[in-house]
Structure 1
Amino acid sequence: MNGVVQLVALLLISLMPLRVAAQEAVALFGDGATRITLRSTADITIIRPVMERFVAENTDLSVSYEQWGSNDLFANSRDACDGSAAPADAVFSSAVHHMVWLVNAACAGSYQSPATSALPLTRRWRDELWGITEEPAVIIYNKKAIGDADAPQDRFALLDLMRTKPEFLRGKIATYDIDASGLGYLFAHSDSHEATTFGAMLEAFARVEAIATCCSADIIRGVAEGRFLIAYNVLGSYVESDLNPAVGVILPEDYTLILSRGFMIPKNARHKDEAGRLLDFLLSAEAQRILSNIGLVTAKDPSESGLLPSARRVIAISPALLVALDRNKRERMFSLWDKAFEIYNIP
């Protein structure tokens, strides 16, 4: 009888649908005869101006733009690399450690142009991966609940605030769920190597019952509405694009992580030359101005950004990011993180 029960259970499990990585949204830009597929973690609403300009200047092309979560995009790109899924013509992700893994696994095609060669070494690797943007990881706060003068300008001030006002902040601090967000995991990994405050931050987050959740738009909306009073390590480009007067933005003065979203042309892309044209456009002065206007490129001048050069910590696109995907290091990070956070999804 037990054998029959086990057989039935196995049959039921086999009939259950498997979770398949899928895009969150799709948009078509332009009506050119040659259509290229771009899979990206950037929200369509944010990236729209630069994509519209690209197809306006390249009328023979159209772009099928697929918006993905970073972990799902990584899974899809791995499947496309081994031939079990249809490849994109270009992949554009904020989880650059995923992109470095894909290049290291021989999933990328090579491309070189004056625009790519002009990039600093921190934003290119092996002529197969290029950093397009420069986006800071910021602290944001609800301006109605926390005055500008009291807002923590660095991690030490944030630690002091959590120590002196634990009840005020209990359940009111948010950051990315590193299990659901590849970007969140990358920021946490970078913090663990960069900050002497990392262990203390996790302990403080645990004491005030901080929340780890997904995703950028939900976290920012939560701060704007007052459900959260502070959010840590939020991608600043999304905050700037939100243009919400209730949300204050801080580039931490001790150091601010700077991310460059990675662009890759898969080795089995159908339209490699056209993807190269898109890459060159994204690196052009015109596109960089548009990206700056929509918050995807931060100003290097301290008078404009408020961030001293000594506080900039660029996450370099290099093999060093492979360490972030080491199994033992991931397990240790998740163990530390799970002890500090109550993980849930915002409705």
Structure 2
Amino acid sequence: MRFLALTLFLTAFATSAATEPVPEATKTYGSEEAATRLLVRGTTDIALFEPVLLAFLGRFGEVRIDYEQWGSNDLYIVSETDCRSGGAAADLVVSSSIDQQVKLANDGCAARHRSPLTAELPTVSNWRDEVFGITREPAVIVFNRGFVDNAEAPRSRFDLIDLLRPEDSRFRGRVATYDIEASGLGYLFAFADAQQATTFGSLIEAFGRSGAVATCCSSEIIDGVVTGTYLVAYNVLGSYALARAEENPDLVVVAPDDYTLVLSRAALIPRRAAEQEIAGALIDFLLSEAGRSAMRSAKLIVETDDGIHPALRLPENPDISLRPIPLSPALLVGLDQHKRRAFVQRWRETFP
């Protein structure tokens, strides 16, 4: 994955690689003889999204879906390039980097879609009938009970800072989080952290002093927790963590007590999409009860009722601690080139 490097973003994303962005993986669903071919690009891992796409095809069998899995920054680059160049575009783009999705819509790169289902969405999940929140995924702390006992297990950012404070802490060098320069989602969560609480400065200073690891991807971070390479993962998507907990019952997924960011993965139809009608039908399916049921099974919608998932530890006061990130122009603040450059510089200096 590479840094955003387009137009006004050139300076802020100067570390972008020179090669053409390419998807991380691809897979095709449906019949070769299908009358309609839909190109869907997303940041969601194929293994998680596949059952959802198959459920859609169970109702729209005349459609063939080409799904491309992308890193968030590269997905933004290719979507922006398609919009500006006038070339062929994807028919649907789904990304966890919802700030980048709002930026695309704000720049005139999204088509409008209205339906009874989109009209029912709350304001925080529908921006201008162009960007739609389709999932519910908390940003969580993850540990492995095989390596971390309950007495040590962090339930908040304050706990995590305390774990990293001692010079001889066994957690030194064994806490992992997203690299905000490589991961659009990582940057979104870190910037939201900085706006939510005063603990952000203390937390990244603790990360820097203790040699915490910043890396690109949810799967890589969670793999490290499974093997014990990392003792704690910070700010990873709960959907990926809970999916892995199905296979690894020692994984514990903690929604922090102080506050828990809740992300709604965003879908938009590119303005130049060839199959806007069918793309709109896919959005409506994702918002329908059948689609939401498929996404709940895939852990892309994380319920926050007690007892919903044995691996999930909810905050003591969910009504106060769970804080959804709304789809709104406020997300564009973090993408301002000057603010981003200053924020990344602070991150680099504090958390080398």
Q: Tell whether the structures are fold-level matches, with TM greater than 0.5.
A: yes
Cα pair distance change 1:285/1:228, threshold 3 Å:
same
Any gaps of 5 or more consecutive residues in structure 2? 1-16
Contact in 2 for aligned 1:210/1:340 (Cα 8 Å):
no
* Secondary structure of 1:174 counterpart: strand
Equivalent residue, structure 1, for 2:301:
297
Equivalent residue, structure 1, for 2:21:
21
Offset at residue 158 of structure 1 (A):
1.1
Equivalent residue, structure 1, for 2:270:
266
The number of residues matched between the two structures is: 326
Contact in 2 for aligned 1:99/1:262 (Cα 8 Å):
yes
Contact in 2 for aligned 1:133/1:261 (Cα 8 Å):
yes
Offset at residue 167 of structure 1 (A):
3.1
Rg (Cα) greater in structure: 1
Equivalent residue, structure 1, for 2:186:
184
Return the letter of the residue paired with 2:341.
E
* Distance in 1 between residues matched to 2:87 and 2:75, nearest whole Å: 12
Equivalent residue, structure 2, for 1:129:
131
* Distance in 1 between residues matched to 2:250 and 2:217, nearest whole Å: 19
RMSD over aligned Cα, in angstroms?
Answer: 1.4
* Secondary structure of 2:206 counterpart: helix
Equivalent residue, structure 1, for 2:75:
73
Offset at residue 165 of structure 1 (A):
6.4
Equivalent residue, structure 2, for 1:315:
325
Return the letter of the residue paired with 1:322.
L
Q: Which moved more, 1:128-137 or 1:163-172?
A: 163-172
Offset at residue 309 of structure 1 (A):
1.6
Deviation string 1:251-291 (CA, Å, 9 cap, x unpaired) is: 10111000011100011100000001000000011111121
* Distance in 1 between residues matched to 2:122 and 2:136, nearest whole Å: 12
* Distance in 2 between residues matched to 1:105 and 1:276, nearest whole Å: 20
Q: Which moved more, 1:198-207 or 1:157-166?
A: 157-166
* Secondary structure of 1:39 counterpart: strand
* Secondary structure of 1:149 counterpart: coil
Deviation string 1:175-196 (CA, Å, 9 cap, x unpaired) is: 0000110000000000000011
Offset at residue 122 of structure 1 (A):
0.5
Equivalent residue, structure 1, for 2:214:
212
Equivalent residue, structure 2, for 1:14:
none
The structure that is helix-richer by fraction is 1
User: Which runs of structure 2 are paired with 1:120-199 in the superposition (5 Å)?
Assistant: 120-164=122-166, 166-199=168-201
TM-score of the aligned structures, taking structure 2 as reference length: 0.90
Contact in 2 for aligned 1:136/1:251 (Cα 8 Å):
yes
Does residue 284 in structure 1 map to residue 315 in structure 2? no
Contact in 2 for aligned 1:55/1:61 (Cα 8 Å):
yes
TM-score of the aligned structures, taking structure 1 as reference length: 0.91
Equivalent residue, structure 2, for 1:231:
233
The one of 235, 254, 263 equivalent to 2:258 is 254
Cα pair distance change 1:120/1:288, threshold 3 Å:
same
Contact in 2 for aligned 1:241/1:295 (Cα 8 Å):
yes
* Distance in 2 between residues matched to 1:101 and 1:141, nearest whole Å: 34
